[in-house]
Amino acid sequence: MDLSGRVAIVTGSGRGLGLAYARALAAAGASVVVNDVDQAVVDAAVAGIGGDTIGVAAAVGDTESAEKLVNAAVQAFGRLDVLITNAGILRDRVLWKMTDDDFDAVVRVHLRGTFTCARAAAIRMREQGTGGRIILIGSPAGQRGNFGQTNYAAAKAGIAAMARTWALELARNEITVNAVIPIAATEMTRTIPAFAPVIEEAERTGTPYPAWLRHDEGLGTVEDVTGLITFLASDAAKGITGQAIGVGGDRLSLWSHPAEKAVRFQEGGWSAEQIANGWDFEPETYGIPAPKK
């Protein structure tokens, strides 16, 4: 995939998945704006990636940060073609222990950060008139719900919803908008009890992750996720928009979107009693399935 001449912003790309995305886009020939909250982390990432890469230290969430990123791309490289909204934090707690601050902090970075960055990018891409790629980062927690993740699940579900909305709004401008639902071993996932010992063992011994983890759970390295990002950023993906695409380990998947699954009709509408008597729906499952191992 050749991305020469393309300019990409990757938020939260100082480490983890974002750093891998920035590295992969640069390796494919793109000029990249690396972003994270800490200047030293940004500088180290830029130095490590090399090529046509610049860094912008800014906390994603504010409109000012979003505009700073887009302006930096335009000033350094003359244009903007690809935005990847990857920056993220966790503040996990069950509902009855979650504070306003836990909720606001996560919603601010993920949901508001995605909104403000995508808006600034869309304005620039529409002015350029040559299309674009907006790649949002969702999560299985947002698709399914997850214990202890009220804030994160809400923000990630909102991100998937925004991808579908913006795919509609930006179609005429040939700007595609998709949500990637990644899974990979990072600082964020290595604390999950079912995975922690396996990831540690693989890293300590330098052996690949076991097949059950890569194949059944879709959990592998950050590099396993980069192929989808590079593909979506390329011309080969110009017809793909409004989708939620899962990737991790050996898996690539297309998530279904919510749609009415079953409908019943009652002439004149439904009273509570009629609903009680007529209720024959097969319930939907919810939550991320527990690891099988």
Interacting positions 206-235 with ligand NAD (CB under 6 A): none
Between CA 62 and CA 70 the distance in angstroms is: 13
What is the distance in angstroms between the CA of the first residue and the CA of the last residue of the chain? 36
Is-contact 179 240, C-beta < 8 A?
no
Smallest distance from the beta carbon of 61 to ligand NAD, in angstroms?
5
Residue 35 touches ligand NAD, criterion: CB under 6 A: yes
Tell me whether residue 39 or residue 99 sits nearer to ligand NAD (CB atom): 39
| CA dist 265 → 38, 273, 275 (Å) | 57, 14, 10
Is 163:109 a contact under the CB 8 Å cutoff?
Answer: no
CA 44 to CA 37: how far, in whole Å?
13
Given a contact cutoff of 8 angstroms between Cβ atoms, the answer to whether 18 and 25 are in contact is no
Please tell me whether residue 1 binds ligand NAD under the rule CB under 6 A.
Answer: no
Maximum Cα–Cα distance across the chain: 68
Q: Are 185 and 195 in contact (CB under 8 A)?
A: yes
Q: What residues between 46 and 75 interact with ligand NAD by CB under 6 A?
A: 59-61
Minimum gap (Å) between residue 68 Cβ and ligand NAD: 11
Number of residue whose CB is nearest ligand NAD = 16
Task: Say whether residue 188 binds ligand NAD (CB under 6 A).
Answer: yes
CB closer to ligand NAD, 28 vs 213: 213
- Does residue 3 interact with ligand NAD by CB under 6 A? no
Q: Which of 21, 152, 209, 286 is catalytic?
A: 152
- 139 touches ligand NAD (CB under 6 A): yes
Backbone angles phi, psi at 97, to 5 degrees: -110, -5
How far apart are the C-alpha atoms of 203 and 209, rounded to whole Å?
9
Of 14 and 132, the one with the shorter C-beta distance to ligand NAD is 14
State which residue, 27 or 59, has the beta carbon closest to ligand NAD.
59
Contact 35, 45 (CB under 8 A): no
- Asked if 288 is part of the footprint of ligand NAD (rule: CB under 6 A), the reply reads no
17 in contact with ligand NAD (CB under 6 A): yes
Catalytic (active site) residue 152 = yes
Q: Closest approach of Cβ 220 to ligand NAD, in Å?
A: 10
Is residue 87 a contact residue for ligand NAD (CB under 6 A)?
yes
Asked if 11 interacts with ligand NAD (CB under 6 A), we say yes
Q: Are 177 and 134 in contact (CB under 8 A)?
A: yes
Tell me: does residue 189 bind ligand NAD (CB under 6 A).
yes
**Residue 244, helix vs strand vs coil:** strand
Residue 207 C-beta: closest distance to ligand NAD, Å: 20
Amino acid at 37: V
Q: Applying CB under 6 A, which residues contact ligand NAD?
A: 11-12, 14-18, 35-37, 59-61, 86-89, 109, 113, 137, 139, 182-184, 186-189
Catalytic residues: 152
